[in-house]
Chain A
Amino acid sequence: MRFVDEYRDPSAARALVAQITDSAGDDEFKFMEVCGGHTHTIYRHGIEHVLPPSVELVHGPGCPVCVIPMGRVDDAISLAKEPGVIFTSFGDMMRVPGSRGNLLKAKAEGADVRFVYSPLDALRIAIDHPERDVVFFAVGFETTAPSTALTLLQARARRVGNFSVFSNHVTIVPPIRAILESPDLRLDGFLGPGHVSTVIGQRPYRFVPDQYGKPLVTAGFEPLDILQAIAMLLVQIREGRRAVENQYSRVVREEGNPRALAILAEVFELRPYFEWRGLGFISQSALKLRREFESFDAEQRYRLPGLRVADPKACQCGEVLKGVIKPWECKVFGTACTPETPIGTCMVSSEGACAAYYNFGRMHREAAVTLGRRSVSSR
């Protein structure tokens, strides 16, 4: 596949791994990839077992599905069960557990829940079904928020009265800051999120080196992108520098996407605070619809339970998200908490740290390396 295979080239990977191994030397490094898309790439391509043991990757909070607290999922299910409502959602939100079941279960019990690939699809359903009320379950960082904003602008322009949005959009910088503020922090640097940065650019991350003295390299989503970004982090550290750098320059611009940012500002405003699963309440970390869009705001149109549901006690997602423990070190990992019966946030989406580790990485390093060496095609 063009534009994909060249970023998965094994010989280029070997050269980068050699550079990383050499640069890390006898020291140990822990880098956090902020974005769930990175976590997925790392496991899907088996990057962990290719890296030297001296470089460890910690999987951050950037999985938008994973960070939605149980209470919000309960609200979504309550919306889905409203008479006459067609509830639309991205596919991977369907299995996220609330306090009593998930959207798939609500669907099985009779709610009209449909999964869509974009908020525009949800708006299309509303236009096609004027007799029904269509609610879109908006989830995601600055990556997906512009498409929700654009959809709302279209809905307003076309005066679609039977469409509303249940906004759970969140912003990437506050959780990074929350992690940096954590007293048990043990990170040496960050792989910055790729897709989010196409929208917000590089400037918002400057506080990471400036205030906390950690390097951040914005990375793409192919295996070689990840390796190159790790190599760039190590170069900075070895040269005694701490800066924001951009490995994903083929996509990410320094200033981001000003038009997307303008649309975001037109439609959304910051909530005073928002609860993150596993991380707790973080101030100014989520987006709600501005008053001008009140008629499209599901939180205004419907009565929601709005109850806060505490994260299950056994769950150690907060510690996993901060890199304090590895997924397998959690007491319930893989036994009580599995992808089919997730307890915590990180096990929910395939991008979550625990789910990715469970689905793809659950193998002894030694076994992986042995099998890799005896590969079928290399004989």
Chain B
Amino acid sequence: MTDVAHRAGSEGREAAVFDRIEAFRRRRPRLLDDVVTLAHGAGGKASAALLDAVFLPGFAGDKPATQTDAAVVVLPSGERLAFSTDSFVVKPLRFPGGSAGHLAVHGTINDLAMMGARPLALSAAFVLEEGFQIDSLREIVADMAEAAAAAGVPIVTGDTKVVDHGAADGMYISTSGIGVIPLGRELSAARVSDGDVIIASGTIGDHGTAVMLARGELALEADIVSDTAPLHELMECLLAAAPSTRWLRDATRGGVGTVCNELARDSDLTVVLEEAALPVRPAVAAACELLGIDPLYVANEGKFVAVVAPDESAAALSALNGHPQGEDAVQIGEIRTEPAGIVVLLTKFGGTRIVDMLVGDPLPRIC
């Protein structure tokens, strides 16, 4: 065999292997563990496996489940409600830029907003550990009240439980929320198509980096604050300027990399991201570089990724940039068709690579 023929043959075999892997990847991950590990809560493949093997068979039965930030409940009148719930177990409870209280309010508002819903009301449930300081509880509750008032979404019902000392890590908060989806508003991966534009609503990786540094385990100090914020007003601002907006997702746990993977998977298209365009604060970039963590996988609590129609992208960006929460909004990529189901990053350096789903929590590398 000549070298050229050998190379062509080898490329064919390589292509066959890729196809086999893609087919394999499309299968939902299987649950292999017999105990719950932290990876099951990290939002990656292990979380998906737990959902598939335990929760969906229990709750969804045979119905195909659409996995979005909130459920859509259709009322007899035909109006659509978005309904969402979330729990907050962040450690430390306080970090630069916010607290678990802010997260608990913003997180649920954002899950509703990403469905295009106008949030109406929230509930809040507390699991408190025996011995927890009432003053600390007061502070968290004040943060929640402040966040809810600022967002214009009241907390209207709640519950409190106390567990033995050692049975919880201080406190856990769980919030639920409902919102109304205005008539005709339809955000879904199925509406995404070739050439659509991908926008990030602001700098990425701020929240996760701020929390990591606030834990104080890293002997690293930097002026990084969490971006925790409600996104429903920014969402309205975007949809007013770009009514054909296809898809929205707040890039929380797992970061922009993970939500883009969900987008690629659910739309069966290629998400192409441009590294040079990714808005990352220099301090965040430096902290991530030192820790060997990719900012694409670091959590945000006040940023969304939007897919907009190409002819509305300029209007979308100028509207977002005109809003105080969207000053740093920028196009970070676009949608293509091949290779389907994959997120590709065009690196600053001029190369290309895949951005895959994370396996578990990002773990810092040894060297």
Q: Is the CB of A91 within 8 A of B365?
A: yes
Q: Please tell me if the beta carbons of B336 and A37 are within 8 angstroms of each other in the complex.
A: no
Please encode chain B, from 218 to 249, with 1 for each CB lying within 8 Å of some chain A CB and 0 for all others.
11000000000000000000000000000000
Q: For residues 9 through 62 of chain A, which have their beta carbon under 8 Å from a beta carbon of chain B?
A: 9-10, 13-14, 28, 36-37, 40, 43-50, 53
Do A92 and B217 touch across chains, with their CB atoms under 8 A apart? no
The stretch from A100-108, A154-162, A274-282 touching chain B is: A100-108
Please, what's the 1-or-0 string for A332-371, where 1 marks a CB less than 8 Å from any CB in chain B?
0111001111000000011100000011111111011101
* B37 close to A105 (CB less than 8 A): yes
Complex-state Cα separation, A138 to B348, whole angstroms: 35
Among A53, A109, A117, A333: residue with most chain B CB under 10 A: A117
**Which of B18, B276, B347, B348: most chain A CB closer than 10 A?**
B347
A1-B289, A10-B348, A117-B217 known; A359-B272 Cβ under 8 A: no
Contact, CB under 8 Å: B14 / A328: yes
Q: Which residues in B have their C-beta under 8 angstroms from that of A95?
A: 359-360, 363
- Interface: A140 (CB within 8 A): yes
Residues 33-50 (chain B) with a chain A CB within 8 angstroms:
33, 35-39, 45-46
Is B32 on the interface with A (CB-CB < 8 A)?
yes
How near does chain A come to B335, taking the closest CB pair, in angstroms? 11
- Contact status of A92 and B363, CB under 8 A, knowing A117-B217, A360-B354, A368-B352: yes
Residue A94 is within 8 A (CB to CB) of chain B in the complex: yes
Confirm or deny: B182 has a beta carbon within 8 angstroms of a beta carbon on chain A. Answer: no
Judged by a CB distance under 8 angstroms, whether B258 is at the interface is no
Q: Is the CB of A115 within 8 A of B356?
A: no
Secondary structure call for the B interface: mixed
Inter-chain CB contacts under 8 Å: number? 177
Choice from A44, A140, A365, A367 contacting B366 with Cβ under 8 Å: A140
Whether A53 contacts B7 by the Cβ 8 Å rule is yes
Residues of B within 8 A of A288 (CB): none
Q: Is A376 an interface residue (CB 8 A)?
A: yes
Contacts of B20 in A (CB 8 A): 334-335
Q: Mark B306-317, 1 if CB is under 8 A from A, else 0.
A: 000000000000
Give the chain B neighbours of A104 by CB distance below 8 A: 37-39, 360
Query: With A and B bound together, what is the CA distance between A368 and B353 in angstroms?
Result: 8
Residues of A contacting B18 in the complex (Cβ-Cβ under 8 angstroms) = 328, 362-364
Q: Which single member of B21, B29, B338 contacts A335 (CB below 8 Å)?
A: B21
**Is A377 in the interface zone, CB < 8 Å from B?**
yes
Residue numbers in A under 8 Å from B39 (CB-CB):
104
Interface of chain A residues 304 through 355 with chain B (CB within 8 A): 326, 328-329, 333-335, 338-341, 349-351
Bound form: Cα–Cα A90–B367 in Å: 10
Q: Is B59 an interface residue (CB 8 A)?
A: no
| B351 and A46 contacting across the interface, CB-CB below 8 Å | yes
CA distance A139 to B367 in the complex (A): 11
Q: Does A64 contact B (CB under 8 A)?
A: yes
Closest to A37 in B: B367
In the complex, residue of chain A having the shortest beta-carbon distance to the beta carbon of B20: A335
| Closest beta carbon of chain B to A106's beta carbon, Å | 10
Contacts of A92 in B (CB 8 A): 363-366
Q: Is A8 in the interface zone, CB < 8 Å from B?
A: yes
B116 at the interface (CB under 8 A from A): no
- The answer to whether A371 touches B272, judged by C-beta atoms less than 8 angstroms apart, is yes
Once the chains bind, are B289 and A375 in contact (CB under 8 Å)? no
Residues of chain B lying within 8 A (CB to CB) of residue A351: 365
A372 interfacial by beta-carbon distance below 8 Å:
yes
Q: In the bound complex, how far is the Cα of B286 from the Cα of A40, in angstroms?
A: 18
Q: Which residue of A lies closest to B365 (CB)?
A: A92
Separation of A326 and B11 alpha carbons in the complex (Å):
12
Chain B residues near A94 (CB-CB < 8 A): 363
* A117 contact from B36, B331, B364, Cβ within 8 A: B364
Nearest A-chain residue to B361, judged by Cβ: A91
Complex Cα gap A342–B351 (Å)? 27
| B331 contact set on A, CB distance < 8 A | 376
A350 to B353, CA, bound (A): 14
Docked-complex contact A362 and B21, CB < 8 angstroms: yes
| A93: nearest chain-B partner, CB-CB | B366
Q: Considering only CB atoms, which chain B residue lies closest to A50 in the complex?
A: B351
- B-chain residues with CB within 8 Å of residue A372 when the two chains form the complex: 346, 350-352
Listed from nearest, the 6 A-B pairs whose CB atoms lie closest are A46-B351, A91-B363, A334-B21, A368-B352, A360-B353, A108-B37
Interchain residue pairs with CB less than 8 A apart (25): A43-B353, A44-B347, A49-B351, A91-B364, A92-B366, A95-B359, A95-B360, A109-B35, A116-B217, A117-B217, A140-B366, A224-B349, A329-B17, A334-B20, A334-B24, A335-B24, A340-B46, A349-B365, A349-B366, A359-B354, A359-B356, A360-B353, A360-B354, A364-B11, A371-B344
